[in-house]
Amino acid sequence: MKNINLGKSILTLVLIVFFFNPTEMFSQGPPPWAPAHGYRAKTRHIYFPEQNFYYDIQKKNYIYLKNNNWEISVSLPSIFVGINLGNTAQIELDFEGSNPYRYNSVHIVKYKKPKKHKEKYKKEHKHKYKD
């Protein structure tokens, strides 16, 4: 009697796993609006416009300009150590290749931080707008 109940329990469990396998629901990956992870990720390089350097996600290294030459480092270069990179601007580049710095002049212009009105300008022109 115990063998029959054990057999029914195993059969029921196998049927549940076979018919209600949750992996089937997610086999096509996350929805397009969700952040990309793993194989769906198209980004390989992160560009930090305020510091003008790159991080290669696949190779896990930093690409930065030093004495007019591009250098590669597996650790954060010492000139950037005091900067909280979590709070600085980061651009996910849609670039396939290993040398994003080839387009650095384009990146500098394209991702340039918009200038704020200078305080001096405001002070100089303040008197013109009095009530």
The candidate with the shortest Cα–Cα distance to 100, out of 73, 76, 64, is 64
Q: Report in angstroms the alpha-carbon separations of 35 from 40, 97, 100.
A: 9, 22, 22
Please write the tens of the pLDDT for every residue from 44-61.
Answer: 899 999 999 999 988 889
Q: How far apart are the C-alpha atoms of 57 and 45, rounded to whole Å? A: 6
pLDDT of 34 higher than 50: no
pLDDT given for residue 111 in this prediction: 92
Poorest-pLDDT segment among 31-35, 92-96, 106-110 = 31-35
36 — pLDDT class (breaks 50, 70, 90): low
SS3 content of the chain, % helix, strand, coil (to 5): 35, 15, 45
pLDDT given for residue 11 in this prediction: 65
Q: For the beta carbon of residue 104, count every other beta carbon within 10 angstroms.
A: 17
**Sign of torsion over alpha carbons 88, 34, 29, 26:** positive
98 — pLDDT class (breaks 50, 70, 90): confident
* Mean pLDDT to the nearest integer, 68-83: 93
